[in-house]
Homo-oligomer: A and B are copies of this chain.
Amino acid sequence: MCRWLGYSGGQVYLEDLLFKPVNNLIDQSLSSRSAETPTNGDGFGVGWYGTRERPGLFRSIRPAWNDFNLRDLAANIQSHLFLAHIRATSLATVQETNCHPFRYGNWLFVHNGEIFGVEKSRRDLLTAVEPKYFENIQGTTDSELMFHLALTFGLETDPPGALARMAGLIEQVSRSHGVEESLWMTLGLTDGSTFYGVRYASDGDAPTLFHSRDMEDLCAFNPALREHFGGAARVLVSEPVGRFQEMWSPVPPGSLVIIRGGEIEIRPFRPAPAPRDA
């Protein structure tokens, strides 16, 4: 089980959310309280939107807790929208190209969970990826594959639809390989302006996803930030971080979260049939 955090709001230093709060994500990488996998030491990554159109990306196979470069970068990089991920794996190799976020153009993508039986379905799913996106696949995770399937199914123009079709294809191909309930996931993704979160599992029992309740809660998370957050800051997390668990509202299973300009919308998420020829 991995963990991730996505932020959207006023411009802050990455460290304000990643390192400064008590019980922050990086501390959790070393010793967490609630997750089944107690350590997330198999690499990490952070992608952020700064002064350029394409987001920046820093990924490393070191445990996040002992990487001094991460500490320095988080102290110096400012962003209004970023995604951070800490990894725990027993499947795909620990290498930078398997660290989240994954990037295509101005899109970033993180994932927690897995495709059950992916060793059976992986080859079929890979061949469903459109050639122009296929070239962008650099690693061997099911997460990166999910991202490129969503791209194939129209992520850049219709994110909710593309995510539904991606989930539909994975369930369909997995069933054809005898895996009835294949998907178990939370997703975080963004094009640099709108921020999407998905919580879904084929069997209904999805991993957790939370959103910050309101600005006051975020200020409790790191009071120094009140002046920076702006009026519209929002955080999505795979598990609660910080000292106050009650600041986090659970996203219901089978949901798509859309955050835009501080507004948060939660819709049902259901897999959709994938296009015929995929």
B31, B51, B135: the one contacting A119 at CB < 8 Å is B135
Q: How far is the CA of A38 from the CA of B35 in the complex (A)?
A: 14
Q: Is A61 an interface residue (CB 8 A)?
A: yes
Q: How far is the CA of A94 from the CA of B96 in the complex (A)?
A: 9
Looking at the assembled complex, report how far the CB atom of A114 sits from the nearest CB atom of chain B, in whole angstroms. Answer: 16
Inter-subunit contact B41/A63 (CB<8 Å)? yes
- Which chain B positions have C-beta within 8 A of A56? 72-73, 75-76
- Which chain B positions have C-beta within 8 A of A68? 93, 96
Q: Is A190 an interface residue (CB 8 A)?
A: no
Inter-subunit contact B119/A123 (CB<8 Å)? no
Task: Find residues 34-81 in chain A having any chain B CB closer than 8 Å to their own CB.
Answer: 38-39, 41-42, 48, 50-52, 54, 56-63, 65-66, 68-69, 72-73, 75-78
Inter-subunit contact A76/B52 (CB<8 Å)? yes
A51-B78, A66-B42, A76-B50 known; A93-B138 Cβ under 8 A: yes
Inter-subunit contact B95/A97 (CB<8 Å)? yes
A76-B51, A93-B138, A119-B135 known; A41-B69 Cβ under 8 A: no
- Which chain B positions have C-beta within 8 A of A262? none
Q: How far is the CA of A57 from the CA of B76 in the complex (A)?
A: 9
Inter-subunit contact A41/B59 (CB<8 Å)? no
Contact code string A112-139 (vs B, CB < 8 Å = 1, else 0): 0000000100110011010100110111
Q: How far is the CA of A50 from the CA of B77 in the complex (A)?
A: 9
